[in-house]
Structure 1
Amino acid sequence: MKMLDRCRLFSLCLLAASCGLAQAHGGVDHSAHGAPAAHQEKTSVRFADVQLLDQNGMPVRLEKDLVGDHLVVMGFIYTSCTTVCPVVSSIMAKVQKQLGGRVGEDVQLVSISVDPQRDDPKRLQTYAKTFQAGPGWSWLTGTPYAVSETLKGLGSFSANLGEHPPLILVGDGRSGKWTRFYGFTDPALLVSEIDRLSAKRVHAKHTAIAQEQQP
């Protein structure tokens, strides 16, 4: 099966599966997106120097406390979304499963609520239980100002909740290299990008060692 056909089939399956999840999280209908075609693009990001809160109510700063030196998979959701957001969270859950013990070690997963007025830490914690299995996945909210500044820097801000893009960012906090994945992306592609970034780290390390050993 061609990769494009595989991705389309995967997207349709995820969309169908999300219907059951959506019933458990009643709220805003996000169906205006339909089933967006998956595509990706290289990008740069800016981390706003603001305080956010994780699902345990602990204050965090995204760049310093979570991104840091990690490889990162970052999604954008809100708990009352009934279609696209459960699919995005399901994709990230599959990424967590495929990466296994690397999550919480060299890889960090982050989900940021785009609806801080309703999504307090307790609500995010309850929502996260549907998707998260194990450590290394932080769910973030904060004041409307802090969240909007964060989203603007990451290219995921929208004044209308129903129009925020289905988007997952994958990047390397060390090198600053990031890729935006729009639509319902096959988790295998996200894991492949993590592996590619990890391999570049190894290559850069070996190159640096070789240069140091030169007379």
Structure 2
Amino acid sequence: MNRVTSRLLLTFCTLTLALSTSLAQAHSAEDPSEYANHGTPVVSPQGAEVKIVDVPLIDQHGRSVSLQRDLVSDRIVVMGFIYTHCTTVCPLVSSIMGKVQKQLGRRAGGEVQLVSISIDPQRDSPQRLLDYSRRFQDGPGWSWLTGAPGAIAATLEGLGSGDGDLKNHAPLILVGDGTSTYWTRFYGLTDPAVLLNEIDQLSQKRLHARPTAIAQESSHETF
């Protein structure tokens, strides 16, 4: 093998290694912007009616919970859909929600509740969700839910978030006010700042609605 051939072979091997490393980093990254640049479309938010069905679910600590009564109630809710064996969009959706939780600070668990629902209840036990959640969650106010397959299917149907098809699972985050059935769906890998802006808008609407409600109550009392 002559020197020219040796140099060409060395250059080829170097370029191949660099490309392989770049692709591996792209597929393992937890930065939504990086993944978005590799083919996952970011779609405009869409308003939609949601229905929260009254079925028992189980959180990451093994406790039986009611999604409406125990978590949604009158809070502002950020809700994602994941399964722990997913290695593509689910870690990224969870990473996005983790950044939202960090920015919310003390509001998480008070005014705002984060919820992640497994679409693979047959494999995602509470313990598995707890172990998975530790990669993304830092603090209170974030519940990870699983349950009987029928309960999960009914929950997903009511929320309009798919049928639990793991092969065609698209990134989706819902944001809404628990006192309303009209929420916003964010398809694709959404910038956490966009979700925080939606939360703030819902919070402002609440503040503006309170004086009106108080004024209406006072007028009724007068008569």
Q: TM-score, normalised by structure 2?
A: 0.80
Match of 1:140, SS? strand
Give the RMSD, CA atoms, in angstroms. Answer: 1.9
Distance apart, 1:175 and its partner CA: 2.7
Contact in 2 for aligned 1:37/1:183 (Cα 8 Å) = yes
- Using the alignment, how far apart are the partners of 1:195 and 1:16 within structure 2? 34
The structure-2 alpha-carbon separation of the partners of 1:36 and 1:199, relative to structure 1 and needing over 3 Å to count, comes to same
- Using the alignment, how far apart are the partners of 1:89 and 1:191 within structure 2? 15
Residue matched to 1:109: 114
Q: Deviations along 1:8-44, whole A, 9 cap, x unmatched?
A: xxxxxxx9666156xxxxxxxxxxx941223211111
Match of 2:163, SS? coil
1:199 is aligned to 2:204: yes
1:59 is aligned to 2:68: no
Residue matched to 1:97: 102
Contact in 1 for aligned 2:146/2:152 (Cα 8 Å) = yes
Q: Deviations along 1:182-201, whole A, 9 cap, x unmatched?
A: 00001111111111111111
Q: Deviations along 1:90-129, whole A, 9 cap, x unmatched?
A: 0000100111100000100000000001000000000000
The structure-2 alpha-carbon separation of the partners of 1:203 and 1:50, relative to structure 1 and needing over 3 Å to count, comes to same
**Aligned with residue 161 of structure 1, among 160, 166, 173:** 166
- Using the alignment, how far apart are the partners of 2:57 and 2:135 within structure 1? 22
Q: Looking at CA atoms only, which structure, 1 or 2, has the larger radius of gyration?
A: 2
Match of 1:164, SS? coil
Residue matched to 1:19: 28
Distance apart, 1:133 and its partner CA: 0.3
1:69 is aligned to 2:89: no
**Aligned with residue 129 of structure 1, among 116, 128, 134:** 134
- Using the alignment, how far apart are the partners of 2:141 and 2:165 within structure 1? 30
Contact in 2 for aligned 1:18/1:86 (Cα 8 Å) = no
The structure-2 alpha-carbon separation of the partners of 1:90 and 1:16, relative to structure 1 and needing over 3 Å to count, comes to farther
Match of 1:157, SS? coil
Q: Deviations along 1:68-95, whole A, 9 cap, x unmatched?
A: 0110000000000001000000000010
Q: Structure 1: which 5+ runs fail to align?
A: 1-14, 22-32
**Aligned with residue 48 of structure 1, among 28, 35, 53:** 53
Contact in 1 for aligned 2:119/2:164 (Cα 8 Å) = no
Residue matched to 1:88: 93
- Using the alignment, how far apart are the partners of 1:144 and 1:81 within structure 2? 18
- Using the alignment, how far apart are the partners of 2:27 and 2:100 within structure 1? 16
Contact in 2 for aligned 1:156/1:164 (Cα 8 Å) = no
Instruction: Provide the identity percentage.
Output: 62
Q: Deviations along 1:151-181, whole A, 9 cap, x unmatched?
A: 1111112352021221000000013331000
Q: Deviations along 1:52-76, whole A, 9 cap, x unmatched?
A: 0000000011111110011000000
1:36 is aligned to 2:41: yes
- Using the alignment, how far apart are the partners of 1:174 and 1:44 within structure 2? 12
Distance apart, 1:50 and its partner CA: 0.8
- Using the alignment, how far apart are the partners of 2:164 and 2:117 within structure 1? 15
